[in-house]
Chains A and B, each alone.
Chain A
C-alpha cells in the first residue's frame, strides 16, 4: 500500500524538479564588471572640448537624426538622449542557407526579417579639465520571418563606434561654428 503512494510522490518530485530547473534565472555575471568593461567604456566614450553640455547634446541629437533614429527620450538635466529605429534585418548568408535547405530537404527555415536598433547617448562634465564626455551604446532586437524574436544583443563592433564618433565630431564642429 505504501508503495502505491510512494510512486506518484516520486514522479511528482522528479516532474517538479524538471519544471523548476527549466525556469531561467538571472546569470551570475549579469551585474558584475567583467574583463570587457574597461575596453567597452573606451570604445564607446569620447571627450569633446565643448563649452556647454547642451551644445554637445544638440550636436549629438543631430547625428542621431542624420542616422535615421527617432528620439524616444531626452533628459538634458542628466545628459540623456535615447533614440531607436526599425530596420530590415535580412542577412544574405541566411537567405542562401534557407534556400539551400529548402531545395535539399524541402524545409522552411525562418530567417531574420526585422530589427529594432536602440541607442542611448549620455553626456557628463569631464572630471579632469574642461569639456564633456559622451558615451554612446547600441543594442538590437531581431525578429524572424515567423515574427519570433531571434536575437537580443548589444552592438559592440569597434568600427560602428569609430564611424559614429567621426560623424559626431563633424556635427560638434558645425554646432560650435553655428553652421
Chain B
C-alpha cells in the first residue's frame, strides 16, 4: 500500500515537472509572457513611409543603425531585411560587462508606401515597450527626410 502511494506521489511530481517544462519552452518560443498580441506588436514595431524606393530605404536603415552604433550582421536586398547588433558598456554602472542589443529591420513595399518593421532583443529579453521603437523611428525619420505613419 505504501509503495503504491509513493509511486503515485512520484508520478504526480514527475508529471508536474514535465508539464511545467513544456509550458516554459512553449511560452518562451511564442513569447507569451510579453502579453502583447500580434496586432499590438505591429502597431508598436511598424511604420509606413511615403516612398517606393526599397534600395534607398534599406541603405538609409543601415546608415541609421550605424549612427546608433550598431554593427551590421546581415543584409538581404531581395527580402529587404537587415540585422544588426549593438554592443555597449557605457552608462551601465560598476561591474557591468555591457549589453548586446540585436535588431532586425525589414522594409516591404505596400502600394505607394514602404512598411518598415523592426524587432529587437535586449540580451535575452524581447523588447516590447513602445518607447525604444518610437526612438528608432524618430532617428529613421530624420535620416529618410520623411514622416513615419502609423500602420492601419
On A, residues with C-beta under 8 Å from B are 23-33, 37, 40-41, 44, 72-73, 75, 77-80, 82, 118-120, 122, 124, 135, 137-141, 149-154
Q: Does B86 contact A30, Cβ atoms closer than 8 Å?
A: yes
- Min Cβ gap B112→A in Å is 22
A154 to B99, CA, bound (A): 11
Partner pick for A75 among B77, B86, B92, B135, CB 8 A cutoff: B77
Q: Does B71 contact A120, Cβ atoms closer than 8 Å?
A: yes
On B, residues with C-beta under 8 Å from A are 55, 58-59, 62-63, 66-77, 82, 84-89, 91-92, 97-101, 120, 122-123, 125, 127, 129, 131-133, 135-136, 138-139, 142
A74 to B122, CA, bound (A): 25
A94 to B135, CA, bound (A): 38
Hey, which chain A residues are within 8 Å of B67, CB to CB?
Answer: 33, 37, 40-41
Hey, which chain A residues are within 8 Å of B131, CB to CB?
Answer: 28
Partner pick for A137 among B55, B69, B92, B101, CB 8 A cutoff: B69
Partner pick for A82 among B73, B133, B136, CB 8 A cutoff: B73
Q: Does B73 contact A24, Cβ atoms closer than 8 Å?
A: no
A118 to B101, CA, bound (A): 15
Q: Does B89 contact A137, Cβ atoms closer than 8 Å?
A: no
Q: Does A26 contact B87, Cβ atoms closer than 8 Å?
A: no
A3 to B72, CA, bound (A): 57
A98 to B139, CA, bound (A): 44
Q: Does B71 contact A119, Cβ atoms closer than 8 Å?
A: yes
Q: Does A80 contact B122, Cβ atoms closer than 8 Å?
A: no
Hey, which chain A residues are within 8 Å of B87, CB to CB?
Answer: 139-141, 152-154
Hey, which chain B residues are within 8 Å of A154, CB to CB?
Answer: 69, 71, 86-88
Q: Does B125 contact A25, Cβ atoms closer than 8 Å?
A: yes
Of all chain A residues, the one with the shortest Cβ separation from B77 is A77
Q: What are the 9 tightest A-B residue pairs by CB atom distance, in nearest-first order?
A: A77-B77, A120-B72, A152-B98, A31-B135, A75-B75, A80-B75, A152-B87, A26-B122, A120-B71
